[in-house]
Chains A and B, each alone.
Chain A
Amino acid sequence: MSNDKNKLDFSLVLASSVHDMKNSLGMLLNSLENLIRDNPPTNDDQAKQFATLQYETSRINNELIQLLSIYRLEHDRLPLNIDAYFVADMLEEQLARNDMLFSTRGIDVTVVCDDALNWYFDNELVGGVVHNVLANSARYGDKELKVSADVVDGVLCICIEDDGEGYPAAMIKAPEEIMAGVSFTSGSTKLGLFFAAEVARMHCQKDVCGYIKLENGGSLGGGVFKLYLP
């Protein structure tokens, strides 16, 4: 009987430890940013190393945030807060979060979105998804990145395009099933895509639910990520 009480809920332990790691990493990211700001890179090699430092720390940070969100999702502790927001505000906010990363990697960002475009979504969750895709595109893209948003037939489509190699063919076929094949050897859990698909799915209007779509090509010839929200 006492055994049951003493038994650790491992997922809870994991969640709180992830929480701690995430906070420490946040501090680390801030110091890193100050450091780069006070000591701008003096050559290309340094710039590259700074970018790697930044990308990798921010990638761990994102992954931890998503882990926590998925934990909360499973325990019904992730409330959906849908309200009306300006899409351009949300996009700008996420671009600003990744600003240092774009500039150290020398990536040009174009935004195509009507300032007055107003839509219904959970700002924090959708912002998290966009943030993650942007960080990814900064990593895999070369020189250019394009973010656009528009409403077609009552569905908001947020589209993020890069000029990199594009997504592997298997991923494009079934992005939602990606979690089924969590691969420890390839070094990626594709947690980001799983999270994106979940967040999209949570956004429903009447009988229609949101979804994500991956493509190659687009206007920049690289990977294209599309998030559809009814």
Chain B
Amino acid sequence: MPYDGYDRLQALVVDDFDAFRTTVTRMLLDLGVQKVDIALNGEDALAKCKHQYYDLVLCDYNLGNGKNGQQVLEKLRFDQVLSRQTLFLLVSAESSKSIVMAAYDSEPDAYLTKPITAKTLHQRLDRLLHQRDAMLEVYRAIEAGQTDLAVDLCREKIDIGNRYASICQKLLGQLYLDNNAFDRAEDLYREVLEARQLEWAQVGMARVKFGQGDEEIAIQWLKDILLSNPLCMPAYDALVACYAARDEQEELQAVLQQAVNISPIAILRQQRLAQVAAENSDYSTAAEAYRRTVKLGEHSCHDEIGNHLSFGRCTAALFKEDVCLAKTLATEAISVLENIRGRFDQNVEEGLQAKFIESQLCVGQGNEHRAQQLLQEAVAKVEQLGAVSDLETDLDCVQALIAMGEQRKADQLLESLVQRYQHDQPALNRIDRLLQEPVSEVNRRRVAEINHQGIGFYDQGLYREAIASFKQARRLFPNHIGVQLNLVQALVGETKEHGRDESIMALCLGSMKRVEININPTHVQYQRYRKLQTIVQEMMQEKQQ
């Protein structure tokens, strides 16, 4: 069915290639489009869209230097420049599927694959414009927050059974989920699934179960969906929500890692992986993921100063685990930190954090002189200010002092922090991560409980369960020597029982390394540490034979 309103439309064509712009512009003018503007790159396109309303934006994915088409769209939606009335079409030479993987928050209204012919473009536009006009009232209701109206309109269209029924079903399911109407969403998805096992309805059903509190079923269903289609990104995102709600940090990291492997250019997932890995004290994964996040942020509206700082922070932490890897990342991390000022409007605290972090990285690189200089500058600034208000800055300072070998000063600062934050449990949790023994009563009890539970499992010979307990404790208190040694002991038990395993050996060595940094011969656990060290060494040698 031809669309008869082309003479009222205004369009924007975005591409860095002249030939494409000319061709598409001519095709649109031939269709009778009233006005066609052109933009040569992302910045140009953003500026034009801010100044003028367009019905159609045809944007190439590849725009040379600067933002790509997906990033232009993200920025437009982020700044709420595009109204629902504007159709954004992403054009590429790739099959649309590889790009679909990149989409995170913002999906274009359609993908067009090159080569574009006049006739295909005409057909696509006819269909999209009819759809836009038919759906406009629904989107307007959603934008105005009139959920009930939007629901009614969707149901009306589904009942009529016209060509927009399927879009309305998807939209309606989402509306129900967003408004916690899980029973209604369940009915809707069940009806769809009775006709056909469609993936979007399967994912929707799993999200219903999650909403109803049945996370176990939701996780099972989502895993099944991913088994038959490992590229189903919405299923990963739903699974992430499930694990996050259950506080299952290791599974959470694993599923984020899988999603990121498949869609490495989605910046928000990459950032989430980095955060979760850092919480899990897995600094090699965290540093690498932050590195990618910073890189992806270059032309993205999701670029944040926190990612730049965290990249440095995790790389600095990595020096305690894997000096080799840390050294390869440190140079890049330092240049990222030094470029922060030109890139962001940093506040005083962030400026101090950057200095403290860079100082640690310089120590790692063997550049003591520069490290000392940065540390002194930052400390002088803190003294000048009197005190800092962000705990993060203080913790970075503690780490920088430790890296510089000024343990006494670091301990003093930690003590004062414990005093200052004695009534702030979340703050104490963060401080406790830096301490060998948790200082807050709550965390002392917590580590004792988990330890107790783990030892119980160990005594019954349930090594795997014991390992899980000690790993959980280690995540919360990575510097706790007792916890680390308990973990090693459980790993040794598991190895004796079930034979050697690479991942277990790696865990053992990682824990021993951590202890080695923190322990000295006067420590009460020193004898035990030496004994376990001998056993682990023997295990390593057996392996090599």
Contact = CB atoms under 8 A, between A and B. Distances in A.
A96 B166 contact: no
Contacts of A68: 95
Contact of A31 (B19, B163, B200): B19
B198 A30 contact: no
B198 A33 contact: no
18 contacts: A23-B94, A23-B114, A27-B114, A27-B115, A29-B115, A30-B19, A30-B116, A33-B115, A34-B23, A65-B95, A68-B95, A79-B97, A84-B166, A93-B124, A96-B122, A96-B123, A97-B117, A120-B198
Given A96-B120, A100-B117, A120-B196, A86 B163 contact: yes
Nearest to A65: B95
B530 interface: no
Interface in A30-64: 30-31, 33-34
A30 B200 CA distance: 35
Given A30-B19, A79-B229, A97-B120, 7 more contacts: A80-B229, A83-B200, A89-B127, A93-B120, A93-B123, A120-B196, A124-B95
Interface string B170-208: 000000000000000000000000001011100000000
Interface in A79-96: 79-84, 86, 89, 92-93, 96
Contacts of A78: 97
Interface residues of A, number: 32
Contacts of A205: 196
B232 interface: yes
B229 A96 contact: no
B93 interface: yes
B232 A79 contact: yes
Interface in B144-188: 163, 166
A96 B95 contact: no
B119 interface: yes
Nearest to B192: A84
A79 B231 CA distance: 6
Interface of B: 19, 23, 93-97, 114-117, 119-120, 122-124, 127, 163, 166, 196, 198-200, 229-232
Q: Is the interface of A mostly helix, strand, loop or mixed?
A: helix
B97 A124 contact: yes
B123 A26 contact: no
A79 to B, nearest CB: 4
A9 interface: no
Interface string A196-215: 00000000010000000000
Contacts of A89: 127
A160 to B, nearest CB: 18
Interface in A89-147: 89, 92-93, 96-97, 99-100, 116, 120, 124
Contacts of B94: 23
Contacts of A65: 95
A153 interface: no
Contacts of B95: 65, 68, 124
Contacts of B93: 22-23, 26-27
A74 interface: no
A83 B170 CA distance: 11
A38 to B, nearest CB: 10
A30 B115 contact: yes
A77 interface: yes
A61 to B, nearest CB: 8
A21 to B, nearest CB: 11
- List 7 A-B pairs, minimum CB-CB distance, nearest first: A96-B119, A79-B231, A30-B115, A23-B93, A96-B120, A99-B119, A29-B115
A80 B232 CA distance: 10
Nearest to B232: A79
